[in-house]
Structure 1
Amino acid sequence: METSAKLYSLSFSNVKTYLFAFLFIAGNIALPQLCHLVPAGGPTLLPIYFFTLIAAYKFGFRVGLLTALLSPVINHLLFGMPAAAALPVLLIKSGLLAGAAAFAARYTKKISLVALLSVILAYQVIGTAFEWAICGNFFLAVQDFRIGIPGMLIQWFGGYALLKAISKL
């Protein structure tokens, strides 16, 4: 399934970059708070990545990168979650997600389930390798693949639905 869409690559000199980043960061602050009401909601639903995917795919790498880097840091400063020890891995995975999503959008020029699945698998596989290198524990590094499948499915299908809904903006 593919949908044609208006996809952007906003520059750092464009005020819209910061406005959209602000909106997506707000989403990445609110969604984890809701998900943490469910036991193991964070590690299972992976909410901190959702709006980073949308931001980068729809508005390009710069909006995605601002969202990817500021969301976990602001969440940590406001709520203590994610834990400080988890921040480096989350920042790496979020940055990889922003890059992969922006690349896929620029390459395909469409909203596609196949492209979104490729983005999710790319950031997770490469991010898992970084996490393993950082923590030295393979079992811990593959946690997203062990318990985060529901979150990846939400990113895939929910991301597709939201991107499709905003495709003409």
Structure 2
Amino acid sequence: MQTTVKLYDLGYAESKTWLAATIFIVGNIALPQLFHLIPQGGVTWLPIYFFTLVGAYKYGWKVGLLTALASPIVNSLMFGMPAFGSLPAILLKSVLLAIAAGYTAHRWRKVSLPLILIVVLSYQITGTLGEWIIKGNFYNAIQDFRIGMPGMLFQIFGGYLFIKYLIHK
């Protein structure tokens, strides 16, 4: 199932870029706080990535990149989550997600479940390899695949529905 929606490719000189990024950053701050009320909610549901995916897919990689960089850092400084030691891997995955989502939306100019699936798998697989290099521990690097499958499914189905129905204009 695919649907054509209005997708943007905003530049850094546009105020809409900064406004959209701010909204998605706030979302990426609030959503993890909700999921952290559930035991293991952060590592299971991967909420820090959700609005990076949505922002980059809908408004372009630049909005996604701003969201990807600011969200984990602000969350870590304000709430201690993610832990400082986890920031490099989370930032890597966030940046990869912003690039993958922005590129995919720009290239195909539509939203579909298979495209969102490809975005999520591409950033997770590449990010896991990078995390393995950063941490030097394969078991820890595959944590998102061991524990975070519900979060990846949430990104795929929730991201698709959010883009298609909630911000389709």
- Give the TM-score normalised by structure 1: 0.99
2:39 is the alignment partner of 1:44: no
Corresponding position of 1:133: 133
What is the Cα deviation at residue 165 of structure 1?
1.1
The percent of aligned pairs where both chains have the same amino acid is 58
Gaps of 5+ in 2: none
Partner in structure 2 of residue 6 of structure 1: 6
Deviations 1:123-166 (A, max 9, x none): 00000000000111000000000000000000000001000014
Deviation at 1:30, TM superposition (A): 0.2
Residue 167 of structure 1 and its aligned partner are, at CA, apart by 4.9
Hey, what's the Cα distance between the residues in 2 that align with 1:153 and 1:43? 13
Tell me which moved more, 159-168 or 11-20: 159-168
Alpha-carbon contact 1:3-1:164 (below 8 Å) kept: yes
| In structure 1, C-alpha distance between the alignment counterparts of 2:58 and 2:45, rounded to whole Å | 22
| TM superposition outliers: structure 1 runs of 4+ over 3 Å | none
Gaps of 5+ in 1: none
Q: Which residue of 1 aligns with 2:90?
A: 90
Q: State the distance in 2 between where 1:149 and 1:94 align.
A: 17
Tell me the amino acid that sits aligned with residue 80 of structure 1.
Answer: G
Measure, in 2, the Cα distance between the counterparts of 1:168 and 1:49.
Answer: 20
Aligned mates of 1:79, 1:104 — CA distance in 2:
32
Q: Which residue of 1 aligns with 2:34?
A: 34
1:29 and 1:151 map into 2 onto residues whose CA distance is 16
Q: CA RMSD in A?
A: 0.7
Partner of 1:73: 73
Report the Cα offset of residue 168 of structure 1: 3.4
In the alignment, what sits opposite 1:115?
115
The answer to whether the Cα contact below 8 Å between 1:7 and 1:105 also exists between their aligned partners in 2 is: yes
Number of matched residues?
169
Alignment of 1:126-165 (within 5 A): 126-165=126-165
